[in-house]
Amino acid sequence: MSSSQVIVIVLAVLVVAALIAVAVVVMRRRSLRQRFGPEYDRLAEQESASAAARELRARERRHAELELTELAPEARARYAHDWEEIQARFVDSPAEAVAEADELVTRLISERGYPTEDYSSQLEHLSVEHSRTLTHYREAHDIQLRNARGEAGTEELRQAVVHYRALFADLLGEQPVPQETSSDHPDRPQDATSR
């Protein structure tokens, strides 16, 4: 075999190896994007796709160390009841209802086994299994912070309840109250605005 043939073979092997490496990276990123959805996109926009991938894999490792638990049927029923009461109170006391929704969601997060001491850490752990509703939680939390300062209007508070409900239902594993009919407005918490 001539030296030029060896060089061509070596180059071909290097090209194939590079293509395989690129394909593996692309498949890993696609898998992370499918699993983390908007959270992957958010991190990729803030940093880079490779930094987002590293961060999300690190989150998966930390998440694997948690001892998460499913709720007993009695606990589910208790949380669902508490949620209904919060939504019912929204009509008369929207600011207090949103603060209570924040506390209830935090209790549920804790009872499921997620850490709740640090909000950032809480988001990171939740992102592994609840990434589709994490944006709702962020928005609800931001509104609650404005609410605590007396800066949130009634419509924002209504949106906070809608956002909290999304994560609450995801964590509970079911809708906390019956779904609205298709003729109802999709963004309105059923008993928070219609009573």
pLDDT band at 46 (very low <50, low <70, confident <90, very high): confident
Q: Is the pTM of this model over 0.75?
A: no
Residue type, 116: T
* Whether pLDDT at 76 is above 70: yes
Residue with tokens 């605590």: 148
Q: What is the pLDDT of residue 177?
A: 53
Nearest CA to 59 out of 83, 42, 77, 78 is that of 42
pLDDT band at 185 (very low <50, low <70, confident <90, very high): very low
Question: For the residues 68-96, what does the mean pLDDT come to?
Answer: 93
Q: Strands, DSSP E only, in 9-136?
A: none
Q: What is the pLDDT of residue 191?
A: 42
169 near 106, Cβ under 8 Å? no
Q: What counts of helices (H) and strands (E) characterise the chain? A: 8, 0
- What is the residue-wise DSSP string for 70-107? PPPHHHHHHHHHHHHHHHHHHTT-HHHHHHHHHHHHHH
* Whether pLDDT at 88 is above 90: yes
Nearest CA to 12 out of 4, 23, 22 is that of 4
| Tens-digit pLDDT profile for residues 8-26 | 888 888 888 888 877 777 7
